[in-house]
Amino acid sequence: MPAGTLRVLLKRSGRLEIVYTGFALEPWIANGDRVALDGNRRPEKGDLALCAVEGWGDIRRILAGSGGDAYITGLDACPGAREVIAAHGVLAVVAGERGAGGAVGRAVVAGFPFWSRWVALGYWLRKIREAPRFAGDAVASVQRKYQGQVESYTDLLSFPLGDDDLHALLVSAFPKGCSVLIAGSGAGGEAIHLSRDGYRVTGFDFLEDMVRAGERNARAAACPIEFVLADMAELDLPGRKFEGIYITPLVYSFVPTRARRVECLRRLGRHLRPGGSVVFSAYLLRSPVQLLNVFLAWVRHAGHEAGFELGDWFTWFLRTDGSLGKSFCHLFRATRVIAEAREAGFRTCGKAGAFFVATDFGN
């Protein structure tokens, strides 16, 4: 979830409960556990804390202070993955979990990185075993994920578009009052925010329920927004051109195969006015260990599934019945994202914080 949204949720009462997905924090926090977060307590050495990492929320271990206004953080299952997080980037402390702090948490820190190497081995082997072969079900897996999140996305309408950096990026990329197309518009949150900022907004989504929710929410907000049912890889709005296009967070990573992603960007480029920009984001590989992880998954699956690409991976999501499902995603190096944008026809593409900006499209 975007760090800006988590900040707002925590400001309401200082506490928040989330569902953790993953195995990087075992044995302290298991996949599917409900985790209580305390935004009022100052983090201490050994604590597990919710941090803002490249605009997104992530739970990290506090290893030490750094100069009084920052913390050195790490992951139990990634011995070498240490990162300095500014004090304002530590949003909350995990409360009430054994090993999340106190004497046990300090003992875990004292064992870094030796103890964590064993944890890392078990974690990565399990992740590789869990990685599914989606084959032709990749797109449907993403649809199932978002089909069950229509109401939750509607509940987020009152929250900010994202952090201040994202808002500043969109304002700089899209001239005030211009026409903006939003890809993956969901329940209309981003569209409504941009409409209130004075932009002329059109949104599209590949789920009919999301389109209907967007239309309802836009009417309730008195925002003149058009919503369209469309798949990004098949987008065709005859005669329509926009001065800016925004792909909502990480949607690009949920598109399977390089050819399909390139076609998505090419379709968007054809709906872009000269001089316009496409702003988007993707899941990025953050460490050599993560790269090894996706490589081993590729070795395991590539011989059994035509089209399985290096970087194909998965995310967990909470089903409406409370169980955990898996949906397709693709992990990138930043250079790979830029290469795909250029293959689609964008002469210029660069990284801006947690996002990419592609410009100068030519067929």
- pLDDT of 243 above 70: yes
Beta bridge pairs of residue 348 = 359
Q: What is the pTM of this model?
A: 0.76
pLDDT tens digits, residue range 103-157? 988 888 888 777 777 777 777 777 788 888 888 899 999 999 999 888 878 877 7
Supply angle C-alpha 144, 57, 87, rounded to 5.
175
The arithmetic mean of pLDDT across residues 207-226, rounded, is 96
- pLDDT of 54 above 80: no
The arithmetic mean of pLDDT across residues 200-223, rounded, is 97
- Chain-centroid distance of CA 119 in Å reads 25
pLDDT confidence of residue 43: 92
Query: Who wins on pLDDT, 158 or 60?
Result: 60
322 confidence band (pLDDT: 50, 70, 90): low
- pLDDT of 5 above 90: no
- pLDDT of 3 above 80: no
Domains along the chain?
A: 3-130 (2.10.109.10), 136-285+317-361 (3.40.50.150)
- pLDDT of 330 above 90: yes
The arithmetic mean of pLDDT across residues 344-362, rounded, is 96
pLDDT tens digits, residue range 292-319? 889 988 888 876 667 789 999 998 887 7
- pLDDT of 361 above 90: yes
Query: Who wins on pLDDT, 75 or 272?
Result: 272
- pLDDT of 248 above 80: yes
Reduce the secondary structure of the chain to three states and give it as a string: CEHHHHHHHHHHHCEEEEECCCCCCCCCCCCCCEEEEECCCCCCCCCEEEEEECCEEEEEEEEEECCCCEEEEEECCEEEEEEEEEHHHEEEEEECCCCCCHHHHHHHHHCCCHHHHHHHHHHHHHHHHHCCCCHHHHHHHHHHHHHCCHHHHHHCCCCCCCCHHHHHHHHHHCCCCCEEEEECCCCCHHHHHHHHCCCEEEEEECCHHHHHHHHHHHHHCCCCCEEEECCHHHCCCCCCCEEEEEECCCHHHHCCCHHHHHHHHHHHHHCEEEEEEEEECCCECCCHHHHHHHHHHHHHHHCCCCCCCCCEEEEEEECCCCCEEEEEEECECHHHHHHHHHHHCEEEEEEECCEEEEEEECC
pLDDT confidence of residue 45: 92
168 confidence band (pLDDT: 50, 70, 90): very high
pLDDT tens digits, residue range 10-44? 888 899 998 887 777 888 888 778 899 999 999 99
